[in-house]
C-alpha cells in the first residue's frame, strides 16, 4: 500500500474521522509516474492509465456491477434507478482484476470515467474529477486477488466489525402503529409458533413526534417502556429503535443542539452536526441515559442519505449548507452516516450490536451497522449483496410484502442467506406470510437461518481479524477466472458456500461454479465446476469442499 499526495488535500476527509485509521506503507509496482494531476475551476482531476483490467466497487451500487467503460457520479442519493453512481453508500474506492485498487480520501462528490480515450496519445484512461477540492491523498493497494486488496482496504480503517451472535438472527420490524401490547403479542406469536426471531424493531410510532424526531417515548402507545424491554428480554428478544437525526422542537435535546446544528432544517427539524464533538456528545449521552441504559442495544438510523431522485415531498439540506464543525453540506452528506454510527456506538458504550444505517461511506468496515434500501427490486437487492463486499460495507435486502406466495418465499430465501436476516413489516398489519398460508415454509427457512449463524460468526471473526468480508462476489476470490467478471447474481457466503438466489419469475437459472470441488448443499451430490442449470423451488446453494485456490484461506 502506498500513499500519494497531490496538490493541497482538504482538512475534512474520511480518515480524519476514522479512529482506527492505520496505513503501513510499502513500495508498489503500480506505475505512479503515469498518474497525472491538475486543478480546474471545478476542483481537481486525476488521470490513470487503463489496460484490460475490469473495475468494481465505488460503494453500494444496486444497478451496476463491472464498471469498466462506465461513467459514474458518486454522490449520496437514496433511490438510484440507473447505474449512474448515485448511491446511499458511495465509497471512493475501486478494485481491479489487474491486482490493484485505489482509495481516494475525500468527502467530496466524484465524477469518474472508467475508460475514456485521450485526444493526442489515443490512450485509454480513467479520469476522476473531485469536485470543489484542490488536492487529494490517494492510497494505491496491491494484492494477489480482489479479496486481498479489499481486505487491506478494510484494515486501513481498523479492519472488520465484531458482531454478537444474536445480531445474526432474525430481525422483525413491527408495524409502525403497533402499541406496546401489540409488540408483546408479536413477540409471543414468534415464540408460540416456534419461528426463530432474535430482534424486534420499533418504527416511527414510538416517538411522541417522529418527522422530525423527539426521541421521547409516546406514553399513550408505550406506557411502560422499561417494563416492555424487561419482558422482551425475558422472552430472549433484543429491541431495536428507529430514528433519524432531524431534531423536533419537542425534543429534550432541541435547545442544547441549537448551537451544534446546520443552517438549514430538514423535515422541520434541526440537522444535528455530529462532526462537532460537543453536539455528538449531547446526542450520545442522551441516548445512553434514555435508551441503552434500560437495555436497548440496537438502532435503525434512517434518512441520513440524500433524496432528490424520487419525490417524497421533502428535501435534504443543500450542498451549500454550513455546519459549526466547518463542514459544508456536500461534505456532510458524504460523512453523515459514518458520524451518526460513531455517535450511537458511543451511546452503546461497548455493548455489542448489529444495527442498521441508511447511509455509509469510506472507511466504515469497523462499524457493526448494516445498510438497507427503500427500493424493492429483487434483482437489484441480489446485486447489492454481491457488490457490497467490494467497498467495506454491509448490506442486506429486506422482505416487506409480496404479491404471491412464491415471491414471498423467493425473497425470504435471499434474506436468509444475507449478512442480516431482515423482515420489515413496518406497514404490514400482520406478519406478511399469513395471507399466503405458508407459515411452515417460513419457519423452515428461518430455522435454516439459525443453522447459518455459526458459519456467519466465523466469517465475521475472520472479517475482524483479516478484513476479508463475510459476503463476496465470485470475482473477488476467483479474480483469475474471466467467467466471473460479469456474474452479479451469485455470491460467496462465509468461507465455503456459494449462493445463487432465484427471483419469483424464474423457474430456472444458470449457475457458475469456479474451479474446485463442489457439492449441492441440500443433497450432498457432487457438482462439477462450470456452468449448470438450476431448477428448484429452493434456493441453489453449493458448498466448497476443496479448491485449488481456496476461499477458506
Non-local (6+) Cβ contacts of 263 within 8 A are 321, 322, 323
Query: What is the pLDDT at residue 550?
Result: 41
- Assign 310 a pLDDT band (cuts: 50, 70, 90): confident
pLDDT above 70: percentage of residues in the chain: 99
Interval 362-370 mean pLDDT: 98
Find, among 522, 461, 516, 520, the residue nearest to 494 by Cα.
461
Instruction: Calculate the CA 396 to chain-centre distance.
Output: 7
Query: What is the pLDDT at residue 312?
Result: 78
- Assign 529 a pLDDT band (cuts: 50, 70, 90): very high
113-163 pLDDT per residue, tens: 999 999 998 999 999 999 999 999 999 999 999 999 999 999 999 999 999
Query: What is the pLDDT at residue 111?
Result: 98
58-93 pLDDT per residue, tens: 999 999 999 999 999 999 998 888 999 999 999 999
pLDDT for 260 beyond 50: yes
Query: What is the pLDDT at residue 552?
Result: 37
Query: What is the pLDDT at residue 308?
Result: 72
476 in Cβ contact with 470 (< 8 Å): no
pLDDT for 49 beyond 60: yes
Q: What is the Cα–Cα distance from 63 to 311, expressed in whole angstroms? A: 20
Instruction: Give CA separation, 450 vs 87, 239, 352, 413, 495, in Å.
Output: 31, 19, 19, 13, 17
pLDDT above 90: percentage of residues in the chain: 95
Q: What is the Cα–Cα distance from 206 to 176, expressed in whole angstroms? A: 8
Which sign does the torsion angle of CA 187, 190, 191, 195 carry? negative
Find, among 140, 126, 139, the residue nearest to 45 by Cα.
126
Burial class (CB in 10 A: 0-12, 13-18, 19+), 61: buried
Q: What is the Cα–Cα distance from 245 to 336, expressed in whole angstroms? A: 9
498 in Cβ contact with 518 (< 8 Å): yes
Instruction: Calculate the CA 485 to chain-centre distance.
Output: 22
Q: CA torsion angle for 536, 540, 545, 550 (degrees, to 10)?
A: 150
- Assign 547 a pLDDT band (cuts: 50, 70, 90): low
- Assign 314 a pLDDT band (cuts: 50, 70, 90): confident
341 in Cβ contact with 357 (< 8 Å): yes
Q: What is the Cα–Cα distance from 364 to 154, expressed in whole angstroms? A: 8
- Assign 548 a pLDDT band (cuts: 50, 70, 90): very low
Q: What is the mean pLDDT of the chain?
A: 96
Burial class (CB in 10 A: 0-12, 13-18, 19+), 524: exposed
Q: Which three cell numbers stand for residue 543?
A: 458448498
Query: What is the pLDDT at residue 546?
Result: 78
Angle among Cα 535, 470, 153 to the nearest 5 degrees reads: 130
Q: Which three cell numbers stand for residue 444?
A: 423452515
Strand partners, 48: 126
Q: What is the Cα–Cα distance from 401 to 173, expressed in whole angstroms? A: 13
Amino acid at each position: 500500500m502506498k500513499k500519494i499526495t497531490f496538490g493541497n488535500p482538504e482538512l475534512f476527509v474520511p480518515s480524519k474521522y476514522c479512529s482506527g485509521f492505520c496505513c503501513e506503507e510499502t513500495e508498489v509496482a503500480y506505475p505512479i509516474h503515469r498518474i497525472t494531476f491538475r486543478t480546474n475551476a471545478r476542483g481537481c482531476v486525476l488521470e490513470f492509465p487503463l489496460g484490460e483490467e475490469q473495475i468494481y466497487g465505488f460503494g453500494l451500487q444496486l444497478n451496476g456491477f463491472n464498471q469498466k467503460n462506465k461513467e459514474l457520479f458518486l454522490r449520496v442519493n437514496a433511490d438510484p434507478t440507473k447505474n449512474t453512481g448515485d448511491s446511499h453508500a458511495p465509497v471512493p474506492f475501486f478494485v481491479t482484476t489487474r491486482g490493484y485498487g485505489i482509495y481516494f480520501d475525500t468527502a467530496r462528490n466524484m465524477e469518474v470515467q472508467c475508460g475514456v480515450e485521450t485526444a493526442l496519445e489515443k490512450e485509454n484512461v480513467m479520469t476522476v474529477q473531485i469536485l470543489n477540492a484542490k488536492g487529494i491523498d490517494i492510497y494505491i493497494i496491491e494484492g494477489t486477488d480482489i479479496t486481498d486488496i479489499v481486505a487491506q482496504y478494510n484494515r486501513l480503517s481498523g479492519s472488520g466489525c465484531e458482531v454478537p451472535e444474536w445480531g445474526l438472527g432474525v430481525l422483525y420490524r413491527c408495524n409502525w402503529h403497533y402499541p406496546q401490547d401489540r409488540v408483546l403479542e408479536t413477540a409471543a406469536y414468534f415464540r408460540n409458533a416456534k419461528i426463530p426471531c432474535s430482534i424486534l424493531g420499533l418504527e416511527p410510532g414510538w416517538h411522541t413526534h417522529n418527522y422530525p424526531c423527539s426521541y421521547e417515548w409516546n406514553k399513550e402507545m408505550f406506557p411502560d417502556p422499561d417494563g416492555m424491554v424487561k419482558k422482551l428480554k425475558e422472552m430472549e428478544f433484543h429491541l431495536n429503535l428507529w430514528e433519524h437525526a432531524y431534531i423536533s422542537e419537542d425534543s429534550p435535546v432541541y435547545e442544547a443542539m441549537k448551537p451544534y446544528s446546520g443552517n438549514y432544517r430538514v423535515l422541520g427539524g434541526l440537522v444535528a452536526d455530529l462532526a462537532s464533538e460537543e453536539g455528538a456528545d449531547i446526542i450520545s449521552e442522551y441516548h445512553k441515559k434514555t435508551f441503552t441504559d434500560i437495555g436497548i442495544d440496537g438502532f435503525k438510523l434512517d434518512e441520513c442519505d440524500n433524496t432528490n431522485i424520487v419525490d417524497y415531498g421533502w428535501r435534504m439540506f443543500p450542498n451549500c449548507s454550513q455546519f459549526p464543525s466547518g463542514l459544508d453540506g456536500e461534505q456532510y452528506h458524504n460523512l453523515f452516516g459514518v458520524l451518526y454510527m460513531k455517535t450511537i456506538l458511543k451511546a452503546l458504550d461497548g455493548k455489542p450490536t448489529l444495527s442498521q444505517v441508511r447511509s455509509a461511506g469510506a472507511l466504515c468496515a469497523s462499524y457493526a451497522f448494516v445498510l438497507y434500501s427503500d427500493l424493492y427490486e429483487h434483482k437489484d437487492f441480489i446485486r447489492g449483496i454481491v457488490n457490497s463486499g467490494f467497498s467495506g460495507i454491509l448490506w442486506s435486502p429486506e422482505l416487506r410484502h409480496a404479491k404471491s406466495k412464491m415471491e414471498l418465499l423467493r425473497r425470504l430465501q435471499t434474506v436468509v442467506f444475507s449478512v442480516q436476516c431482515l423482515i420489515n413489516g413496518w406497514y404490514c398489519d400482520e406478519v406478511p406470510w399469513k395471507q399466503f398460508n405458508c407459515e411452515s415454509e417460513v419457519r423452515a427457512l428461518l430455522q435454516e437461518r439459525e443453522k447459518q449463524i455459526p458459519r456467519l460468526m466465523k466469517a465475521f471473526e475472520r472479517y475482524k481479524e483479516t478484513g476479508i468480508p463475510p459476503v463476496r462476489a465470485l470475482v473477488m476470490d476467483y479474480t483469475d477466472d474471466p467467467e466471473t467478471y460479469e456474474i452479479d447474481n451469485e455470491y460467496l457466503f462465509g468461507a465455503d458456500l456459494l449462493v445463487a438466489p432465484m427471483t419469483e419469475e424464474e423457474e430456472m437459472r444458470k449457475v457458475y461454479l469456479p474451479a474446485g470441488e463442489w457439492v449441492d448443499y441440500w443433497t450432498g451430490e457432487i457438482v462439477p465446476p462450470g456452468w449448470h442449470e438450476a431448477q428448484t423451488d429452493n434456493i441453489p446453494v453449493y458448498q466448497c469442499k476443496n479448491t485449488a485456490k481456496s476461499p477458506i484461506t
